[in-house]
Amino acid sequence: MWLDNFSEVYVSMSRNRLRIALTGFSIAWGIFMLIVLLGSGNGLLNGVTSNFGSMAMNKVSLYSGWTSKDYKGLPKYREIHLEESDIEFLREKFKDNVDKIYPVFYTSGKLSYGQEYVNTGVNGIVPGYLATIGYKILDGRDINEMDLRERRKVLLLTEKTSELLFGDKQHHLGQWVNLAGLSYQVVGYYKGESTRSSEDAYAPLYTIGSIYHPDGHYDHIQLIVSNLETSEANEEFNKAIREVMSRRKQYDSTDRRALWVWNDYEDYIQTQTIFEGLRVFIWIIGLATLIAGVTGISNIMLITVKERTHEFGIRKALGARPRQIVSLVLLEAVAITLVFGYIGMFFGIGLTQLVDYFLDQQVKMAAASGSENPTVFLNPTVDLGIIIAATLVMVVAGVIAGYVPAKRAVSIKPVEALAAQ
């Protein structure tokens, strides 16, 4: 029974090859373009997101600056300092939003080993700070609590800085280097994200503070925040920070140069909002392409049923049941949709996988050569479930498109059907 049905469907499709090929192309093209569009959107989103790396996005950084406005008799061009007392003040004032605070001292100088040297920046940090900015320990260890308490002269370096100092790409753990006349021991190597990576060295906070900042003035303070899930909430938080700090430090709260507030989470939310809009736009275009395919299969089924009305009359006159005739039409609709939908799926997935392979090879080659660059396009693949769902939508549309005219055709009397041209 089923073999006979498939045989009849094949014969019917063979008689209308050009029309079915054109209709099938619209179906395949719809699936193909949906995959390509969604893959492109995912690739762009993954690429931009990868540039954020593993850094904590829920952070707000405060940088000291210089006033640019007069304030209550105080002159402009005063330097605003961030100090240890500000940490407890901020923690208490914003206890509902601030989870952790990381102060940073900064200095710069000549870092040397023998006759070789580099000019570099050195950041005094506390344990855990590197993870918040997306930096990873490649070898050795991070700064620890013992380093802070004992004010140890230890350093974390990048591989590039090490190569310039030691002349090779080995990790010289335990080696002593000279920083501005003082000896420091190399205890670890770190790697930063390509988009934000610097060649600065990192040392314990109190070591750098006691030697280079006896005044206790931090370069910046980083806040890890929570419960700020919208751009509006982050903007209000930024405003509150400026207002309370302006009263504490005696400067105009509208003076943005006195205290720089950099909110990474606000930027991240705005980026995600943009990409949500892009994703919706891509879906609209993709669905429009699918609708074009649905229209194509609907048209071909309408024409097919009209051409076969005479045939249906003969079948009914010979005793064929309406259900058997309708099932033939539906089987043809499903066959066309599945075959060409699979073709579109095959080429769409093949193209995205091919692009993903070449992008992956480029990333590996760049990493091997040491010239790692930020990427804006990464892993342009699509969830297989979405692809299957889109194909099923096409199949259902084809079934409906075939059922309605077929049901109408078989409902007329055999005599009328035989007279149809």
pLDDT at residue number 102: 95
pLDDT digits (tens, 9 = 90+) for 17-29: 777 777 778 778 8
pLDDT, residue 195, reads: 47
Structure tokens at 128: 């855990």
- Taking the C-alpha atoms of residue 186 and residue 244, their distance in angstroms, rounded to an integer, is 40
Note the pLDDT of residue 319.
73
The answer to whether 91 and 98 are in contact (CB under 8 A) is yes
pLDDT tens digits, one per residue of 130-170: 988 888 899 999 999 999 999 999 999 998 999 999 988 88
Q: How confident is the model at residue 413 (pLDDT cuts 50, 70, 90)?
A: low
C-beta of residue 14 within 8 angstroms of C-beta of residue 324: no
The predicted model gives 348-377 an average pLDDT of: 73
Q: What is the pTM for the complete model shown?
A: 0.67
Q: Is the pLDDT score of 347 beyond 50?
A: yes
**Given the structure tokens 């800085």, which residue do they identify?**
161
What's the distance, Cα to Cα, between the start and end of the chain in Å? 29
Return the structure tokens found at 265. 């989470």
pLDDT for the residue 252: 92
Q: What per-residue confidence (pLDDT) applies to 199? A: 86
Pairing of strands 176-179, 220-225: unpaired
C-alpha torsion sign, points 161, 162, 164, 170: negative
Winning range, highest mean pLDDT, from 188-197, 345-354, 380-389, 410-419 = 345-354
| DSSP class per residue in 142-156 | ---HHHHHHT--EEE
| CA–CA dist 172, 187 (Å, integer) | 9
**Worst-scoring range by mean pLDDT, 56-65, 264-273, 348-357?**
264-273
Q: Which two tokens stand for residue 324?
A: 């058997």
What lies within 8 Å, CB to CB, of 401 at 6+ separation is 294, 297, 298, 301, 302, 333
> In this structure, is the dihedral angle defined by the CA atoms of residues 335, 336, 341 and 344, taken in order, positive or negative?
positive
Q: Of the ranges 23-37, 220-234, 368-382, which one carries the lowest mean pLDDT score?
A: 368-382
